[in-house]
Amino acid sequence: MPPKEGSLEAPTRHPIDWKSKDFYNQDALNKELERVFDLCHGCRRCVSLCNAFPTLFDLVDENPTMEVEGVDKADYQKVVDSCYLCDLCFMTKCPYIPPHEWNIDFPHLMLRAKAVKFQKEGAKLRDKIMTSTDAVSKTIAKPLVAPIINAAAKTPVLRKALDYIIDIDQDAWLPPYTSKPLIARLKDRRESDVKGEPAGSTSGKVALFATCYSNFNEPHHGEDLVAVFEHNNIPVTIAEKERCCGMPKLELGDLEAVDKLKKFNIPILARLVDQGWDILAPVPSCALMFRQELPLMYPDDADVQKVAKAVFDPFEYLMLREKAGKFNSDFKSDLGKVAYHVACHQRVQNIGPRTRQALEMVPGTEVTVIERCSGHDGTYAMKSEHRKDALKILRPVTRKVDAVDADNICSDCPMAAHHIAANLENKKEAAHPISLLRRAYDI
């Protein structure tokens, strides 16, 4: 029988067999890349998502055979380097994902290829630095250091030097650093002995996994989250310590580094879950790491699976409470026109449009939803070699935001929001949706 076209069955993902020797076998990898690339070449539905697919199709179309078999296998890496693991091809486009017999999981195949390359070659100094979020941030996020670094990051001469020396694009938006990390600001809240009011699948009390970004770059997001949740009678604590969730190292293909971070974070989070706390991660990529990637890397680790079931997106949590009649909708101020960008790694979690629903509950607020990748994607838009492609991916988003003429621009991914705002025709400041909600409460 011929293979069926697409599938109406619920999608599934296979465990990532990253500890097996075959996972790192270059010949086996090339064979699978050729198989999947050939199927992608015959479909081409994903051509508009990112630059990985146009790169692949150009390699096919520009070789004499006009088939995948004519592409130099050394050029496969060009496709791999263009993938930033947004997962949208798997989630929104590909009709051949498991359980379809063709069994295509393009993002995790790219992850395997990145891991093989990292094991063989390592990574550029720039990429090692940019993905070492704990080490870099702890060095910079200090009272005397952060203001100097923030000022230097706006200096054209230094930015040109960074572009020339280590290929960090001189025009790319770079995140600021705080002088006082979020964990230090919330230290008095560590594991307080309180009871929550359960509702639906929520315990009514949450432990905040600060994330590198909210901890070291924009801690006011975390403070706004605490204010909003307490306004909804939800106690908030914070773990005694944490390290990066591992997503930056995963995107680099450094799976051993991911393993080390997992061994640090999971026991701490699992203990909080055992004490009755739900876990919140205010950055979608970090929530996705705990909910999807680590469970697929460690399918037999009971603590990893336990934590995965206890991790929530902030607005997912609030809307679960709203469904049970436990959400405070007593808003004092409207938010006007809001251009809301839906982060890719939030869409992948299949939680539905919870942020939009919460914002639309604010009277006098008009929300325009933008469901396209921003092209920022971790560090992708900061790299000189990808800057042009990142802006091309971003363009449909900025066009829509400019057309809306919004009063507020936001995304659950703060880096995406700033990337969008920095490249608008009419420059505007970006906000986090949780900060907008706090503003609407007037608290």
Model confidence at 297: pLDDT above 80: yes
CA 202 to the chain's CA centroid: 23
Which pLDDT tens digit goes with each residue over 115-162? 999 999 999 999 999 999 999 999 999 999 999 999 999 999 999 999
Name the residue among 98, 95, 38, 40 with its Cα closest to residue 69.
38
How much is the average pLDDT of 166-182? Answer: 93
Which pLDDT tens digit goes with each residue over 248-289? 999 999 999 999 999 999 999 999 999 999 999 999 999 999
- What type of residue sits at position 90? F
Computed on alpha carbons and rounded to an integer, the radius of gyration of the chain in Å comes to 22
Q: Are 218 and 141 in contact (CB under 8 A)?
A: no
- For 103, residues 6+ apart whose C-beta sits below 8 A from its C-beta are 96, 97
Model confidence at 431: pLDDT above 90: yes
The CB-side HSE value for 107 (13 A sphere, CA atoms) comes to: 24
pLDDT over 90, % of the chain: 80
Q: Are 159 and 172 in contact (CB under 8 A)?
A: no
What number of other Cβ atoms are within 10 A of residue 439's Cβ?
18
Rounded Cα distance between 84 and 174, Å, is: 18
Which pLDDT tens digit goes with each residue over 45-70? 888 888 899 999 989 988 888 888 88
Q: Taking all residues of the chain, what is their mean pLDDT, rounded to a whole number?
A: 92
pLDDT at 47: 84
**Peptide linkage before 99 cis (omega within 30 of 0):** yes
pLDDT at 3: 53
Please tell me whether the overall predicted TM-score, pTM, comes out greater than 0.85 for this model: yes
pLDDT at 194: 85
Band of residue 1 on the pLDDT scale cut at 50, 70, 90? very low
How much is the average pLDDT of 186-208? Answer: 87
pLDDT at 4: 58
Rounded Cα distance between 414 and 283, Å, is: 8
Instruction: Please provide the distance, in angstroms rounded to a whole number, between the alpha carbons at the two ends of the chain.
Output: 63
Name the E strands within 188-259. Answer: 206-208, 236-238
Residues in the chain: 443
pLDDT at 324: 93
What number of other Cβ atoms are within 10 A of residue 194's Cβ?
13
- For 283, residues 6+ apart whose C-beta sits below 8 A from its C-beta are 211, 213, 214, 412, 413, 414
Rounded Cα distance between 361 and 329, Å, is: 7
Q: Which residue has the tokens 């206890």?
A: 310
Element (DSSP H or E) covering residue 31: helix 26-43
pLDDT at 149: 94
Q: Are 343 and 284 in contact (CB under 8 A)?
A: yes
Which pLDDT tens digit goes with each residue over 368-409? 999 999 989 888 899 999 999 999 999 999 999 999 888 999
Rounded Cα distance between 138 and 209, Å, is: 17
Q: Are 3 and 95 in contact (CB under 8 A)?
A: no
pLDDT at 7: 60
